[in-house]
Amino acid sequence: MARAWGVAAGLAALALAPLPAEAQDYDIEASRLLASPRFEAARQSLAADYDTIVADLITLTEIEAPPFKEARRAAAYAQMLKAAGLENVQTDAQGNVMGLRKGSGGGPLIAVAAHLDTVFPEGTDVTVKREGNRLAAPGIGDDTSSLPVLLAFIRAMDKAGYTTRADILFLGDVGEEGPGNLRGMRHLFNEGPYAGKIDAFISFEPGKAGRITHGGIGSRRYTVTFKGPGGHSYGAFGLVNPAYAMSDAITQFARMQVPASPKTTYSVGIVEGGTSVNSIPFATTMTVDMRSESAEELAKEEAAFLAILPGAAARENAARSTKQGEITYETTLIGDRPVGLTARSAPIVEYARASSEAMGFQVHYGSSSTDSNLPMSLGIPAVTLGSGFTTHRAHSLDEYLELDRENDLASMSAGLATLLLLAKAD
């Protein structure tokens, strides 16, 4: 594949580069595809598959996949990729699982991914509870719900007899959520067996078609550990307490003003520290998330955050005794996601727009922090699209998705159409 693509590099680049508007009408291409009997066969396959998709979703949701502990779910998904008929199903060194649907040759390599990891720690109850059309479980939406949709795409292409010029690599990848820091993507694009060979990338996340994420929200994430001498809560009363310095810092941080546009956000996600009720802690730690659509705003926000810390430590050192030691702090950068952008005029965005509109969806362009950040930051055309199901309360223990068969299938059809157009299906 790699060699074939090397030989045909000129052609593939042509297929992916934006052309003058008069030379390529994405809407006509999309309408033609959607009206074709072959695509109708693909849609019927998706529809026939709906219950299987839901069944696979439940199976996968109930295999917990905390950050860095995706292996059991990855193994299950690798079996599913194999059962869907992909070639070269493999697990790379970071734990991404992937398989190839070979094209007819001379086309680009397109990677299509859903991430395996959830935000929930080991031991979270991931039993799926069904009430009417609601399926509830932590992680059921983000991003577990996209995994079985990719399988349905493969089956639909096969059932409808599609061949594509492009090779398509389907992935369940690791490390998309916070602590993973895009480790799956970094490995895929920089070191793994397909590093340097991927020409376009689509990440599927829950949600309707029409939501096109073509901007990558950048993020900077820190842990800050405040340290002090510690001591007995009564006997050593009056010594500096790192919990007080940290709370001072958090209180300042909570007051930071950030622009609504370009959207810029911050959060304290974890606080921890101390050993017993009757000891002044030796150390407390806060975990901070800062994000922006704008590299400049992100840098300003980060600078403002870092500027809070010395004052918080100094105020505590001034408020209480430092005779056994001062409050100090250490910052550790634990997340660094590049801001990225795929131009709206890029074919990958235009195919997504045209397919969504042709299926009757309204298009919303947006930015987010997803697997696509990484290829975007490398200049590889990338988008994150809705795979169909709508999820609610993502990242909360009461996450749920609402099954809405016709709309879900319409979104899936738009996603599949985008892929087929980009892959030059015949």
Site for its own copies in 366-425 (CB under 8 A): 368-369, 393-397
Is residue 207 a contact residue for its own copies (CB under 8 A)?
no
Is residue 319 a contact residue for its own copies (CB under 8 A)?
yes
Site string for its own copies, 157-186 (x = CB under 8 A): --------------------xxx-------
Q: Concatenated DSSP letters for 291-308?
A: EESSHHHHHHHHHHHHHH
377: left (phi over 0), alpha (psi -120 to 50) or beta: alpha
Is residue 20 a contact residue for its own copies (CB under 8 A)?
no
The C-alpha atoms of residue 316 and residue 278 are separated, in whole angstroms, by 20
Least Cα distance to 370 among 124, 173, 151, 145 occurs for: 173
Residue whose CB is less far from its own copies, 120 or 305: 120
Among the listed ranges 18-26, 76-84, 89-97, 242-250, the one in contact with its own copies (CB under 8 A) is: 242-250
Quickly tell me which residue has 């602590």 as its tokens: 179
Is residue 269 a contact residue for its own copies (CB under 8 A)?
yes
Min dist. Cβ of residue 198 to its own copies (A): 25
Is residue 289 a contact residue for its own copies (CB under 8 A)?
yes
Query: Which tokens in the block code for residue 3?
Result: 């060699």
Q: Concatenated DSSP letters for 209-276?
A: TTEEEEEEPEEEEEEEEEE---EETTTTTTB--HHHHHHHHHHHHTT----TTTTEEEEEEEEEE-S-
Min dist. Cβ of residue 341 to its own copies (A): 16
Is residue 248 a contact residue for its own copies (CB under 8 A)?
yes
Is residue 121 a contact residue for its own copies (CB under 8 A)?
yes
Cis peptide before 143 (omega within 30 of 0): yes
Site for its own copies in 57-86 (CB under 8 A): 67
Whether residue 115 contacts residue 173, with contact meaning beta carbons closer than 8 Å, is answered with yes
Residue whose CB is less far from its own copies, 172 or 230: 230
Answer for which of 53, 288, 354, 410 binds its own copies (CB under 8 A) is 288
The C-alpha atoms of residue 303 and residue 309 are separated, in whole angstroms, by 11
Site for its own copies in 128-157 (CB under 8 A): none
Query: Which tokens in the block code for residue 213?
Result: 């994420």
Is residue 279 a contact residue for its own copies (CB under 8 A)?
yes
Question: What are the backbone angles phi and psi of residue 109, rounded to the nearest 5°?
Answer: -105, 120
Least Cα distance to 201 among 347, 366, 415, 375 occurs for: 375
Among the listed ranges 54-62, 107-115, 286-294, 401-409, the one in contact with its own copies (CB under 8 A) is: 286-294
Q: How many residues bind its own copies, per CB under 8 A?
A: 66
The residues that touch its own copies, with contacts defined as CB under 8 A, are 67, 119-121, 177-179, 217, 219, 221, 229-238, 241, 243-244, 246-248, 250-251, 254-255, 263, 265-282, 284, 286-289, 291, 316, 319, 334-335, 368-369, 393-397
